C-alpha cells in the first residue's frame, strides 16, 4: 500500500499563541473546530496546550526561536499577560499580534492600569505608587488602614500582595515584597510597588468582553466569583438579581478600556461590588478563568470569540443558555471516574500533575433553574472536599 496523499486543507490559518498552558489548550480546543491550526511558544515541556498544537519550546528571550515560531503564522496572540512585551513587539514585525503589545504594557503594570481607569473615569480604589518605605508611610497616612500593598508587576492568584492592617505591618510587608521583586530574575524590570485602599467589597464580579479587528464588541453576562486562598474557586452567571443598570455600567467600563487601547480579542475586567457601586480592580488581556463557564454556557465561548476577534471574523452570541456555574479543581483532583459520575457535569481537565495551588481543571454546569444548578454544584463541591480530605 503506497502512502496516500495529504488530505489537509492547503490554506488553513495557523494561530500562534505565546504560552502553552491550559488557556492555550482551550483556545486550541475551541479553534480546531473552526478549521484553525495552532502553534505555541513557551519554555515549558509537556504543557497542556502541546496536546492540541505544535509547541516551540524555548525561553521567551530566545528571539531566534521566536522567529521560527512566527514563520507562516496568520496571527499571534498570548494566553498570559506576563509575556515580555519586547517579545510581542519583536513578533509584531512579522505577524499581527492581537491584542496589541500596548495591552500588555497596561496590564503588566498595576500603576499604569489604575491610572488608565482614572483617565477613563472608571471608579477604582484609591492608589499611590510606592518606591520606598517613606512613600508607604505617607501613603497609609493618605488612604488609611487597612491598605493593600502590591507589586506593580508579576502578581497573580493572590501572589505579590499583602494586606496592611496595623502600622507594624508596613515595614515587613515592604521588605518581603521588595525582596520578592529582587529575586524575580525571569520577569521584566522591577517597577516598585503600589498601595491601594482596602475595599471591604460585598462581592467580586467580572465581565468578559471581546472586540474584533472591525471594532465589533460583545459582552458576556456579569459573573460572580468566589475565591479560596486567593485563587478563583467558583463562578456563577448570569446574576439574576442583578440590576440591568449595574450590568450596563460594567459593560460600559470594559468598552471604554477596549476602545481606548484599540483592543482586539477577549479582555477580562475584574470589579468589586462595593454596596452596589462597581470599582475596577484589574484587567487581563486574554481569555480568563472567570469566563470558563462560557465553554458550555454560551453558543460561542470566550475562547471561540477570542479567535473570531483576532481572525477578523464576526463575533458569536454571548447570551447565557441557562443558569451556569464553573468550579475550579485546584491542587488535587478526584479520579476522573468519580468526576464522571456527577450528573450534568461537563469536565475540563488540563492533564497536569497535582500540586498545591495548581489549577488542574474545572467543572461546568448549565441548568434550567438556579435550584437545579445549586444542587448539582453542591454535589460537585462535596466530591472535591471528600477528595481533599482523602475520602474519595
Residues that bind a second copy (CB under 8 A): 1, 3-4, 6-10, 12, 25, 29, 32-35, 37-38, 43-48, 51-53, 57, 59-61, 186, 299, 308, 311-314, 316-317, 336-337, 340-341, 343-344, 346-354, 358, 361, 366
Cβ nearer to a second copy, comparing 95 with 338 = 338
Cβ nearer to a second copy, comparing 340 with 385 = 340
Cβ nearer to a second copy, comparing 192 with 312 = 312
The residue among 328, 279, 290, 330 whose CA lies nearest residue 148 is 279
- Name the packing angle between helices 170-183 and 133-143 (round to 10°): 130
Q: For the CB of residue 208, give the shortest distance to a second copy in the complex, in Å.
A: 19
State the residue for C-alpha cell 488540563.
350
Cβ nearer to a second copy, comparing 43 with 146 = 43
Give the distance from CA 297 to its chain's centroid: 18
Distance CA 152, CA 110 (A): 5
Q: For the CB of residue 52, give the shortest distance to a second copy in the complex, in Å.
A: 6
Q: Are strands 147-151 and 193-197 parallel, antiparallel or unpaired?
A: antiparallel
State the residue for C-alpha cell 463541591.
381
Based on its alpha-carbon atoms, the radius of gyration of the chain, rounded to whole angstroms, reads: 21
Cβ nearer to a second copy, comparing 45 with 276 = 45
Cβ nearer to a second copy, comparing 33 with 276 = 33
Q: For the CB of residue 132, give the shortest distance to a second copy in the complex, in Å.
A: 30
Q: For the CB of residue 322, give the shortest distance to a second copy in the complex, in Å.
A: 9
Distance CA 244, CA 225 (A): 18
Q: For the CB of residue 303, give the shortest distance to a second copy in the complex, in Å.
A: 12
Residue spans of beta strands (DSSP E) within 120-264: 127-130, 147-151, 161-164, 193-197, 203-211, 217-219, 223-228, 231-237
Q: Are 293 and 321 in contact (CB under 8 A)?
A: no
Cβ nearer to a second copy, comparing 143 with 298 = 298
Q: For the CB of residue 386, give the shortest distance to a second copy in the complex, in Å.
A: 17
The residue among 323, 69, 338, 87 whose CA lies nearest residue 221 is 323
Set of cell numbers at residue 1 = 500500500
State the residue for C-alpha cell 502590591.
150
Q: For the CB of residue 164, give the shortest distance to a second copy in the complex, in Å.
A: 33
Amino acid at each position: 500500500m503506497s502512502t496516500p496523499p495529504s488530505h489537509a486543507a492547503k490554506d488553513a490559518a495557523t494561530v500562534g499563541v505565546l504560552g502553552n498552558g491550559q488557556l492555550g489548550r482551550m483556545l486550541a480546543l475551541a479553534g480546531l473546530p473552526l478549521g484553525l491550526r495552532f502553534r505555541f511558544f513557551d519554555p515549558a515541556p509537556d504543557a497542556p496546550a502541546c496536546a492540541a498544537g505544535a509547541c516551540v519550546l524555548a525561553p521567551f528571550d530566545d528571539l531566534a526561536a521566536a522567529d521560527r515560531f512566527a514563520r507562516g503564522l496568520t496571527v499571534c496572540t498570548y494566553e498570559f499577560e506576563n509575556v515580555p512585551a519586547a517579545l510581542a513587539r519583536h513578533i509584531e514585525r512579522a505577524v499581527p499580534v492581537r491584542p496589541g503589545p500596548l495591552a500588555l504594557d497596561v496590564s503588566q503594570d498595576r500603576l499604569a492600569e489604575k491610572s488608565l481607569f482614572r483617565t477613563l473615569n472608571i471608579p477604582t480604589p484609591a492608589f499611590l505608587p510606592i518606591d520606598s518605605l517613606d512613600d508607604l508611610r505617607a501613603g497609609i497616612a493618605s488612604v488609611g488602614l487597612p491598605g493593600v500593598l502590591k507589586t506593580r508587576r508579576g502578581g497573580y492568584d493572590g501572589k505579590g500582595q499583602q494586606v496592611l492592617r496595623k502600622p507594624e505591618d508596613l515595614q515587613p510587608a515592604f521588605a518581603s515584597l521588595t525582596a520578592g521583586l529582587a529575586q524575580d530574575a525571569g520577569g521584566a524590570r522591577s517597577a516598585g510597588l503600589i498601595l491601594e485602599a482596602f475595599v471591604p467589597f460585598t462581592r467580586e464580579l467580572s465581565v468578559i468582553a471581546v472586540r474584533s479587528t472591525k471594532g465589533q464588541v460583545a459582552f458576556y453576562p456579569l459573573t460572580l466569583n468566589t475565591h479560596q486562598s486567593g485563587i478563583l474557586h467558583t463562578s456563577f452567571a448570569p446574576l439574576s438579581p442583578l440590576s440591568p443598570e449595574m450590568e450596563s455600567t460594567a459593560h460600559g467600563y470594559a468598552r471604554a478600556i477596549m476602545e481606548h487601547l484599540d483592543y482586539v480579542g477577549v479582555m477580562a475586567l475584574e470589579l468589586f461590588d462595593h454596596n452596589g457601586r462597581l470599582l475596577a480592580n484589574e484587567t487581563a488581556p486574554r481569555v480568563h478563568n472567570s469566563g470558563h463557564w462560557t465553554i458550555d454556557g454560551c453558543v460561542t465561548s470566550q475562547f471561540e470569540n477570542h479567535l473570531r476577534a483576532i481572525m477578523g471574523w464576526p463575533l458569536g452570541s454571548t447570551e447565557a443558555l441557562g443558569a451556569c456555574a464553573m468550579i475550579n479543581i485546584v491542587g488535587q483532583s478526584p479520579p476522573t471516574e468519580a468526576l464522571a459520575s456527577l450528573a450534568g457535569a461537563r469536565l475540563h481537565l488540563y492533564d497536569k500533575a497535582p500540586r498545591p495551588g495548581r489549577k488542574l481543571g474545572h467543572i461546568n454546569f448549565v441548568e434550567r433553574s438556579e435550584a437545579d444548578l445549586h444542587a448539582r454544584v453542591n454535589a460537585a463541591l462535596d466530591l472535591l472536599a471528600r477528595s481533599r480530605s482523602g475520602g474519595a
